[in-house]
Amino acid sequence: MNPIPVIRQTAPTWRDVIAGDDSRPRPLNRTGRRRVVVDGMRLWLTVVALGASLVLGYTVWGIWSASPATLAAPAESAPLREIAMRTDGVLNLDWVKGTLQIAPGTGIMELDLPALRARLLASGQVRDAVVTRRFPDVLAVILEERSPVIRARVQTGENELSNLYVARDGAIFFGERYDESLVGGLPWLAGVAFNRAVNGSGPGFAPVEGMEAVSDLLGTTRASAPGLAKDFQIISLARYASDGVLLVRTPDVAEIVFGTRDDFYRQLARLDYILDELRSRPEAPAIRSINLAIGGQQVPVAFEPVSTSAATTVTRPTKPPATEPLQNFFRP
C-alpha cells in the first residue's frame, strides 16, 4: 500500500491569526506611500492657511481701530451732499453745520465720526449725539439736548459776566436758541461755587451737585402751585451739603427753607396755607423766613423787626427793637 503524501501548509491558519503570528504590519506599496504624503500635505496647508487668515484679520482690525480712514481712503468715496438731523430740543440744522465745520467736497468715508460727535457734545447743551453715515452721500445726526432748570451768572473774564444755564444732571452750558419766554422766568442759582472742569467740557465748569433736588422742587411747584412757582426768584444751595436743605427767595419771603428729606408736595401745601393765613392779617409784619424742613405740624415763621416812628418814641417810651426776629408757629 502506497503511503499518503503529506502536503505541508504554508499559509496561516485561523489559529495563527488568533495567536497573532501575522500581526506585523505589511510594508506599504508605492500607491499607499503617495496617499500618506498627500494627506499630510493637505493637513499642513490647512493649518498654514488658517493661521494666515487669523493674522491677516487681526492686522486689519488693528488698522481699522487706530484709523478707520486709512482703510477707507483708497475706496471710491462720494462727496458729502446732505446733513440730515433730528433733535428733541431747540437746536437746528444751521447750528449743526456751524459746529461740525465740514469742508465742502469732503468724502463721506473721509469723515471722522468720533471727532464729529465730540464737537457736538463740547457745548454741553447736547447730552448725547449719534452720528452715522447714510450711504451714498448723507450724514445723519441725532441729538438729545439738555433742558435748562435754572439760570446762573458767573464771571468768565476779568470784567465779564455771562449768563449760563444748569440742567438736572448739574451740567452747565451757555444755551443757544432758547425763547426768552421760556428761560426768562427761570430762577437764579446762588450759594454754590463754580469749579473748573478737568476735561474742559462745555463752558469749562464742573457739574453742580444738588440739581436733582432743585429740579424736583421746581417741577412739583409748577405742577401743584403754578402761581407760587412764578415767585421763586433765587434758589440757594448754600446749606445743601451740610443740612440737606434748599433756600428759596420770593418777593414776599426772604428765605423759605425746604427739606430734601421730606416730600415737597406736603411742604408746599403747608407753605400755601401759611401765606394765605398771613395775607388775611394786614397788620402782620414782613416775613423773614419760613422753615418747612422741620417737619411735623408746626412750622416756624420769623418776621422782620417792627421799627417804631420817632413820634411814638417821644410820646411813649417803648422797648428797644429786638435783635432777633420774632418766632411764630403755624399749624397747617
136-166 pLDDT, tens digit per residue, is: 999 999 999 999 999 998 877 677 788 899 9
Length of the chain: 332
Task: Give a yes or no: residue 42 inside a domain.
Answer: no
Pairing status of strand 287-291 against strand 253-259: parallel
Strand order in the sheet with 150-155: 172-173, 161-166, 150-155, 188-190, 234-236, 245-249, 253-259, 287-291, 299-303, 326-330
Task: Check whether residue 183 and residue 121 sit in a common domain.
Answer: no
**b/e sequence 252-272, b meaning 16+ C-beta within 10 Å:** ebbbbbbbbebebeebbebbe
User: Quick one: what percent of the chain has pLDDT higher than 90?
Assistant: 54
- Tell whether 40 is covered by a domain: no
Residue 187 sits in the same domain as residue 298 = yes
137 and 279 fall within a common domain:
no
- For the cut 90, the answer to whether the pLDDT of residue 28 exceeds it is no
- Please check whether residues 104 and 192 belong to one and the same domain: no
Whether pLDDT at 323 is above 50: no
Q: Are residues 287 and 206 in the same domain?
A: yes
Q: Is residue 256 part of a domain?
A: yes
Amino acid at 214: V
Please give the tally of structural domains in the chain.
Answer: 2
Highest mean predicted confidence (pLDDT) among 93-97, 286-290, 303-307: 93-97
Predicted TM-score (pTM) of the model is: 0.70
Give the domain range for residue 125: 82-145
What's the whole-number mean pLDDT along residues 63-84? 70
Sorted by sequence, the CB contacts under 8 Å of residue 8 that are 6+ apart come out as none
The answer to whether residues 116 and 240 belong to one domain is no
Q: Answer yes or no: do 249 and 298 share one domain.
A: yes
Cα separation, 257 vs 293, in Å, equals 6
| Structural domain includes residue 281 | yes
Residues 207 and 97 in one domain: no
Q: According to the model, what pLDDT value does residue 30 have?
A: 72
Q: What's the confidence (pLDDT) of residue 238?
A: 96
Helix axes 211-224, 264-279, angle to 10 degrees: 50
Indicate whether 310 belongs to any domain. yes
Question: For the sheet containing 126-134, what is the strand order?
Answer: 82-87, 138-145, 126-134
CATH number at residue 130: 3.10.20.310
- pLDDT tier, 57 (very low <50, low <70, confident <90, very high otherwise): confident
| DSSP conformational letter for 282 | T
Cell of 210: 444738588
| pLDDT the model gives residue 14 | 54
Same domain, 109 and 212: no
Determine the Cα–Cα distance for residues 270 and 241; give it in Å rounded to an integer: 24
Last residue of a domain, one of 145, 173, 188: 145
Residue 70: its pLDDT value, please?
A: 55
Query: Is 182 inside any structural domain?
Result: yes
Q: Is residue 35 part of a domain?
A: no
Ramachandran class of 70: left when φ > 0, alpha when ψ lies in -120 to 50, beta otherwise: alpha
End position of a domain, from candidates 145, 175, 195? 145
Same structural domain for residues 180 and 310? yes
In this predicted structure, the answer to whether residue 260 has a pLDDT above a threshold of 60 is yes
Of 128, 145, 162, the residue that ends a domain is 145
pLDDT at 42 (0 to 100): 84
Looking at the structure, do residues 129 and 157 belong to the same domain, yes or no? no
In a domain, 264, yes or no: yes
Q: Which three cell numbers stand for residue 295?
A: 417737619
Q: What is the pLDDT of residues 184-235, one digit of tens each?
A: 999 999 999 888 776 555 567 899 999 999 999 999 999 999 999 999 999 9
> Is residue 219 domain-shared with residue 307, that is, in the same domain?
yes
Distance CA 162, CA 314 (A): 51
